Amino acid sequence: MNLSMRKIALAVSVLLFTGQALAEPKRPECIAPASPGGGFDLTCKLAQSALINEKLLTKPMRVTYMPGGVGAVAYNAVVAQRPADAGTLVAWSSGSLLNLAQGKFGRFDETNVRWLAAVGTSYGAIAVKSDSPYKTLDDLVQALKKDPSKVVIGSGGTVGSQDWMQTALIAKAAGINPRDLRYVALEGGGEIATALLGGHIQVGSTDISDSMPHILSGDMRLLAVFSDKRLDEPEMKNIPTAREQGYDIVWPVVRGFYLGPKVSDEDYAWWKAAFDKLLASEDFAKLRDQRELFPFAMTGPELDTYVKKQVADYKVLAKEFGLIQ
């Protein structure tokens, strides 16, 4: 086949590709790899609303929950049992990438799924009940210096998780051994909020998007948010950063979706085109803002490159804390 014929064949295949092969998935589903009420749930429900609003799906995408290992159970299930299921999205966050960097997802690594889209970012935060004796981040640090065993901190995941890392960075900056901190491992932001409001923990290491409903209801306060500067949203502008309190810690929590490793290029392209359209939409921006997420839009190969760089960076951080060799 000569060059001109190849170009014609390519053009025909593109027409077929865009006109016929790019069909809507029959049973769209978003897996939130934690219990209801946390950041993964929020991420799935954002996509669920936005895809219908933009008429990119004709029937609602259902949200299902698959807690375990802060993403590990869902990751393994999709890669091993549903690798070619074109309708199944799975929510991920920066915490997922940190766990991948430490090998916490078992025999699978960051190369074993198709990274699809990042749709927004939140920031890590330290939460307490509204009647907590800790009024500032330094109040908490002083209590930890005095006796770390008397402060029970709830975090999503065990030692080495994203939430653990946030308080470990504070401890390191204050000259406290992070291993001396007393942790309770929970499955995501929903369980952290429940445990905090129930008095089972004194401090929640979480993120701002998980926390805001409870902040607005008056049940919780944030001692610090791990953003580089105060956030502009009216309900957030009075929340101090860790940095302004003398702890130079910034921790963004990017949120998005991946697909199974054997999803076809055609089906992957359908989802990518849908999210590209979504992320350019003003209506989507409003839905994202309502969920206390900030702009962060990335899809396809650009996202794949970002994810792999983040995992590499997290490996360096994990080595600093002795979490991996």
Phi-psi region of 43 (alpha: psi -120 to 50; beta: other; left: phi over 0): alpha
Is the pLDDT at 109 greater than 50? The verdict is yes
Arithmetic mean of pLDDT, 193-197: 94
What does the pLDDT read at residue 156? 84
What does the pLDDT read at residue 166? 94
Cβ neighbours, 10 Å, residue 314: 24
CB within 8 Å of 175: residues ≥ 6 apart: 145
Arithmetic mean of pLDDT, 267-282: 97
Q: In this predicted model, which residue has the larger pLDDT, 187 or 142? A: 142
Arithmetic mean of pLDDT, 27-32: 97
The percent of residues in the chain predicted with pLDDT above 70, rounded, is: 93
What pLDDT, in 10s, does the model give residues 127-176? 999 999 999 999 999 999 999 999 999 998 788 999 999 999 999 999 99
Q: Is 306 within 8 Å of 154 (Cβ atoms)?
A: no
What pLDDT, in 10s, does the model give residues 202-214? 999 998 988 899 9
Arithmetic mean of pLDDT, 217-237: 94
Q: Which domains does the chain have, with CATH numbers?
A: 23-122+253-320 (3.40.190.150), 123-252 (3.40.190.10)
What does the pLDDT read at residue 70? 77
Q: How does the average pLDDT of the chain come out, rounded?
A: 91
What pLDDT, in 10s, does the model give residues 113-132? 999 999 999 999 999 999 99
What does the pLDDT read at residue 22? 66
Distance CA 92, CA 130 (A): 30
What pLDDT, in 10s, does the model give residues 48-105? 999 999 999 999 999 999 998 879 999 999 999 999 999 999 999 999 999 999 999 9
What pLDDT, in 10s, does the model give residues 281-294? 999 999 999 988 99
Is the pLDDT at 3 greater than 50? The verdict is no
Is the pLDDT at 13 greater than 60? The verdict is no
Q: For residue 271, what pLDDT band results from cuts at 50, 70 and 90? A: very high
The type of residue at 142 is: Q
Compute the radius of gyration of the chain from its Cα atoms.
21
Strand partners, 164: none
Distance CA 213, CA 43 (A): 15
